[in-house]
Structure 1
């Protein structure tokens, strides 16, 4: 399971994206970007962050460490901004933390170069999880210590917002024409040959076991958390074998 920490200090809100994450210190002396259960996107965004982030890590991508962060709403009492207070108050309990990479730079496709192999691996992976939020406008990539890191996977696996249509949705092509790495001649075929065989039921069972039970409770149509975990795994296993043939917009 993900390491559990407790937030001890709310440092500052981060004005990025619609979810208004925050920077916190925790009882392990770590600093984390906190993503709130009380944000408008809801707990499914956090589930996607865990499934996709932990799958990426196991496939060899560089991902900041993820933890669960227990948040006491009292930390928001001293916040001067009402929106931040409300968010902290509504997010008591288990939230998601991503290790803060101090000094990291946002990836700019005009300023950095990425080789075809690495570009192909990232494009293939984003196609697998149907990441609609890795465009050149908003790459959700960081350059840290000279290497490329993946962040922010809340806008993936969009089929989990409508489980009855999940199978059909997961079978759709992936449009990579606006992908942040589309201009780096991504070797998608090479990535598929390397990565697809590694996306197995066993690996995804390990990944989905990382999802906190509380985020899976009371999902309509499922009688247990384990059934919901299997529902997350099944489209990814099926998609891995064929998704390289369904990537559009890459020359």
Structure 2
């Protein structure tokens, strides 16, 4: 196995230098549309341990990229062993949500760890000594979701952001989560890291829950409830700042091309869908979500002020 590389800085959205990170080439569209970074394929060469925290019990693993550079990653499985019976996971659809939200967040300028599709094979599983973990891995041969492990990252947002840049980043995360209906980034479980002076959004497995819900009337908006906003990890540092919660929507309204949405859809492995039609519901919801941006912003303003 090649030497384990030090973690690279997170690539700025739409500005990754080719070869500088394991993320892969950024797909650039003509202005004014946004840029997307499609997921590279990584090969798992070692599964080390179960990471603390996380209801789906993510794993610390080593992967190699297309140039045989090794990287430490957080590995999310298609069929994980959940920590407790009441925890939610939607198998392949949860991995698709992880990937799509990572692509979308990065395109919009939100920091996320470099992400990729990880191929897990029988040979790697045979080297796992812990019997119970090996059994879980055996039912997950094939493509899984992975993102870079950020060594030294601290969990949660600062109690009070000490810079305009930090406040702007927290605002963008709040707007993003309200837009994709991610109620899983709460103060008690922030799924937000502080790393090298930035806030980094992780764990989107339960976002875009439209696939879980029965079909309602056409055009149902699916907005965050006020309780979701008050429980969000950005509520304490941002409340009473009279922020407009519109920065991210200015970006989002630039939009994605039809070709980009097709690229995103085609990048998702066929096994990442728990029920037929899940992915179509998720992508249709996200394609039109920018049309709801005024209501998303006003809902955040009403609760945060």
For the aligned residues, what is the CA RMSD? 2.9
Q: How do residues 4-83 of structure 1 correspond to structure 2 at under 5 angstroms?
A: 4-28=41-65, 29-39=70-80, 41=89, 42-83=91-132
Structure 1 residues 188 and 153: alpha-carbon distance in aligned structure 2, compared to 1, 3 A threshold: farther
Unaligned runs of 5+ residues in structure 2 are 1-37, 83-88
**Partners of 1:182 and 1:5 in 2: how far apart?**
36
| Residue 82 (structure 1) shift | 3.9
TM-score, length of structure 2 as denominator length? 0.71
TM-score, structure 1 normalization: 0.84
How far off is 1:108 after superposition?
Answer: 4.7
Pairing of 1:1-251 with structure 2 (within 5 A)? 1-28=38-65, 29-39=70-80, 41=89, 42-110=91-159, 113=162, 115=164, 116-162=167-213, 164-165=215-216, 170-174=221-225, 175-185=228-238, 187-191=243-247, 194-200=250-256, 202=258, 205=261, 208-209=264-265, 211-215=267-271, 219-221=275-277, 227=280, 230-247=283-300, 249-251=303-305
How far apart, in 2, do the equivalents of 1:242 and 1:144 lie? 32
Deviates more, 1:107-116 or 1:174-183: 107-116
Deviation (angstroms), 1:169? 6.0
Structure-2 separation of matches of 1:192 and 1:26: 33
Shift of 1:2: 1.3
Counterpart secondary structure, 1:5: strand
Q: Give the conservation status (yes or no) of the 8 Å contact 1:141–1:151.
A: yes
Q: Quick one: distance in 2 between partners of 1:160 and 1:236?
A: 15
- Alpha-carbon deviation of 1:140? 0.8
CA shift digits 1:179-206 (9 cap, x unpaired): 1111223624342553341344548616
Alpha-carbon distance in 2 for matches of 1:173, 1:98:
27
Aligned length: 248
**Distance in 2 of aligned mates of 1:216 and 1:232:** 18
Change (3 A) 1:108 1:218: closer
Structure 1 stretches of 5 or more lacking a match? none
SS at structure 2 position matched to 1:17: coil
Q: 1:194 to 1:233 in 2, by over 3 A?
A: closer
* Cα distance, 1:54 vs structure 2: 0.7
